Amino acid sequence: MTRVRATVLAFLFSMSSACAQSPAPPGALSCSGCHGAAGVEIPSLSGLSADEITEAMGAFKSGARPATLMNRLAKGFNETETRAISQWLASQRSAP
Amino acid sequence: MSRASRRGVLSGGAATLALTLAAPRAMGQARPKAVVIGGGFGGATCARYLNRLGVAVTLIEPNATYIACPFSNLVIHGSRDLAAQQFGYEALKREGIVIAPEMAAGVDADARLVRLASGATLPYDRLVLSPGIDIRFDALPGYDEAAAQIMPHAWKAGPQTLLLRSQLEAMRDGGVVVMSVPANPYRCPPGPYERASLIAHYLKTYKPKSKLIVLDAKDAFSKQKLFQTAWEELYPGILEWVALGAGGKTTEVSVKDMVVVTEFDRHKADVANIIPPQQAGRIAVAAGVADKSGWCPIDPVTFESKLRPNMHVIGDASIAGAMPKSAFAANAQAKVCASAVALLLRGEAPASPKLLNTCYSIVAPAYGISVAGVYHPAGGLLADVEGAGGVSTLGASSEVRAREAAYADSWFKTIAAEVFG
Ligand SMILES: Cc1cc2nc3c(=O)[nH]c(=O)nc-3n(C[C@H](O)[C@H](O)[C@H](O)COP(=O)(O)OP(=O)(O)OC[C@H]3O[C@@H](n4cnc5c(N)ncnc54)[C@H](O)[C@@H]3O)c2cc1C
């Protein structure tokens, strides 16, 4: 009975949330902890293109762009992961 | 949903049931149910993300106002108002999250029901627990709830924070402040050292004949070199740190004599701040998701309990491997957990995540330092991604320190807005 209930729910939910976003790529959900609306010290990512974010992350990682902290975080992602995160961030309507 | 499982639903008796259940109901009413216990950094974030992903969410939280710990050391320092730490749940309610304003008292795992303090029950398809910590009032001889009114812990922000602040204000110049710091694991690894720095700054500024003794049950701590370099430069003769190896471990306290006892010494205090050992919020024990250590083992991909199915644990209560017990981590885990729960409710499997952490500490006004990390599931735990993360540069300019202090402030505003705004 419980299993049936779960399966029914899963079925209905999958239909009702057909519009649900595809899951965020690894790492992407953490960004909004620091990057939010404009008007504070840490820059908002809203309005940046995927290419701009990818390029910034690359420059943080190589040290070409000086940073207090983003250099330490950028090193945790390879190019494919960074690009996926950038694309996802750029695709968010109210980008974090 | 896969074809095979859809066929499963629509074959035999289950098909009839599915149709009877589905037909008279609007899609919205058929949404799967999640219950979240605890409206702090982890729970409130998770409730919001689940709600946005189409899950019906009830958030159980007894307090109408949440009082945030990050930056509460500045309240103790006297440079910040406690009001700046307070947040409500209006925005969550507006989004359609139902708030049950009381304590969760227990969980029936088989029936998938949460029992509330009032006796009412809430059914769930998936349960998320983010109850934070409880102080272990049985762990340090002499330190019980009554003792905390004389020697505050101030490790849950609120009246305890104000009590410690007022004791420092009332203390004579030339007094001795004693801080006791526990062994790992505990909430906010660098928090005691940020607090020590800010108390030392207050003493140096207003009561320069006073002293701060920090008694530690550890020999090493988060951002240690950065803190100690700053202490030598800013607070010489005021702040003394006593490591475990030098007899720093507190073995007993006496509120009657205002004494903090270590293996080798008895420290008479004018003000004593005891940060005691901690455990996962008690509901985790009642729900059966805490192990013998008092904390909750979890799957690093989904945050599902390793002890009970359909229950997820995030934030301070969880055993998150290399990830520290921080508000940043609780928020990051909440988002990954919400996403995993939504997929699991659809019968899909979540992919392996990555998570970040950043913890700023304020050592003095306009002097910030940070630790950061990137984590991924490895060996059944959340492990450091090698080559990433680390602490602020030693010997950086005062301009860099000021920038990190400003970033800390910015972080708090942004995360508070994401969680409560
Ligand atoms: C002095 C200090 C400074 C800190 N500074 C920082 C910092 O700079 N940066 C940082 O990232 N972190 C910091 N932290 C750590 C941060 O506060 C915690 O890691 C964070 O609050 C954890 O979130 P959580 O959701 O696990 O728990 P909490 O935020 O504590 O939330 C738990 C909630 O659950 C509720 N609850 C508990 N039991 C029940 C129950 N049975 N039923 C219903 N509700 C229940 C509680 O009322 C509470 O609202 C600091 C902590 C301290 C003490």
Q: Is the pLDDT of residue B314 over 90?
A: yes
CA B348 vs. chain centroid, Å, equals 29
For residue B83, tell me if it sits in a domain: yes
For residue B364, tell me if it sits in a domain: no
CATH class for the region spanning A25-91: mainly alpha
Shared domain for B283 and B269, answered yes or no, is: no
For residue B29, tell me if it sits in a domain: yes
- H/E element holding A2? helix A2-16
CA B150 vs. chain centroid, Å, equals 24
The structure tokens listed for B88 are 């409500």
| Residue ending a domain, choose from B210, B245, B276 | B276
- Is the ipTM, as predicted for this complex, more than 0.95? no
Shared domain for B258 and B319, answered yes or no, is: no
Report which protein residue has its CA nearest ligand 1's atom 17: B69
pLDDT tens profile B221-272: 999 999 999 999 999 999 999 999 999 999 999 999 999 999 999 999 999 9
Categorize the per-residue pLDDT at B30 as very low, low, confident or very high, splitting at 50, 70 and 90.
Answer: confident
From B20-24, B168-172, B289-293, B347-351, the region with the lowest mean pLDDT: B20-24
Q: Which residue has the tokens 């930056």?
A: B71
Shared domain for B144 and B269, answered yes or no, is: yes
Q: Is the pLDDT of residue B297 over 70?
A: yes
Q: For a substitution probing ligand 1, which of B35, B36, B37, B41 has the most ligand atoms within 8 Å of its CB?
A: B41
Can you give the residue range of the structural domain that contains B330? 3-134+279-350
Q: Is B193 in the pocket of ligand 1 (CB under 6 A)?
A: no
pLDDT tens profile A33-48: 999 999 999 999 999 9
- Over residues B117-135, the mean pLDDT reads 98
Categorize the per-residue pLDDT at A5 as very low, low, confident or very high, splitting at 50, 70 and 90.
Answer: low
Shared domain for B200 and B258, answered yes or no, is: yes
For residue B198, tell me if it sits in a domain: yes
- Contact A4/B17, CB-based, under 8 Å? yes
Shared domain for B127 and B156, answered yes or no, is: no
Q: Is the pLDDT of residue A11 over 70?
A: no
b/e per residue B284-321 (b: at least 16 CB within 10 A): bbebebbbeebbbbbbbbbbbbebbebbbbbbbbbbbb
Q: Is the pLDDT of residue B290 over 60?
A: yes
Shared domain for B106 and B51, answered yes or no, is: yes
Q: Is B192 in the pocket of ligand 1 (CB under 6 A)?
A: no
Cα–ligand 1 centroid distance for B42 (angstroms): 8
Residues of B in contact with A74 (CB under 8 A): 388
Number of separate domains in chain B: 2
Shared domain for B317 and B225, answered yes or no, is: no
Report which protein residue has its CA nearest ligand 1's atom 38: B131
Residues of A in contact with B6 (CB under 8 A): 11
| Residue ending a domain, choose from B259, B276, B293 | B276
Q: In the prediction, which pLDDT does B9 show?
A: 33
pLDDT: which is higher, B13 or B114:
B114
Cis peptide before B185 (omega within 30 of 0): yes
Q: In the prediction, which pLDDT does B22 show?
A: 34
pLDDT: which is higher, B322 or A20:
B322
Shared domain for B11 and B114, answered yes or no, is: yes
- Over residues B386-414, the mean pLDDT reads 98
Q: Do B262 and B215 form a contact (C-beta atoms < 8 A)?
A: yes
Domain ranges of chain A: 25-91
Q: Is the pLDDT of residue A17 over 50?
A: no
- Contact A76/B392, CB-based, under 8 Å? no
| Residue ending a domain, choose from B276, B297, B329 | B276
Beta bridge partners of B369: B361
Q: In the prediction, which pLDDT does A22 show?
A: 78
Shared domain for B125 and B8, answered yes or no, is: yes
pLDDT tens profile B49-96: 999 999 999 999 999 999 999 999 999 999 999 999 999 999 999 999
Mean pLDDT of chain B: 94
Chain A residues whose C-beta sits inside 8 Å of any chain B C-beta: 2, 4, 6-17, 20-21, 23-24, 26-27, 29-37, 40-42, 68-69, 72-77, 81, 96
For residue B250, tell me if it sits in a domain: yes
Q: In the prediction, which pLDDT does A7 show?
A: 57
Q: Is B35 in the pocket of ligand 1 (CB under 6 A)?
A: no
- Contact A10/B392, CB-based, under 8 Å? no
Q: Is the pLDDT of residue A6 over 60?
A: no
pLDDT tens profile A78-94: 999 999 999 999 998 65
Q: Is the pLDDT of residue B25 over 60?
A: no
- Contact A30/B356, CB-based, under 8 Å? yes
CATH number of the domain within which B81 lies: 3.50.50.60
- For an interface test with B, the pick among A5, A13, A92 (most B C-beta atoms closer than 10 Å) comes out as A13
The structure tokens listed for B212 are 């701060």
Question: What length does chain B have?
Answer: 421
Q: Is the pLDDT of residue B36 over 80?
A: yes
pTM of the model as a whole? 0.92
Shared domain for B271 and B331, answered yes or no, is: no
Shared domain for B244 and B226, answered yes or no, is: yes
Shared domain for B255 and B167, answered yes or no, is: yes
For residue B382, tell me if it sits in a domain: no
Q: Is B283 in the pocket of ligand 1 (CB under 6 A)?
A: yes
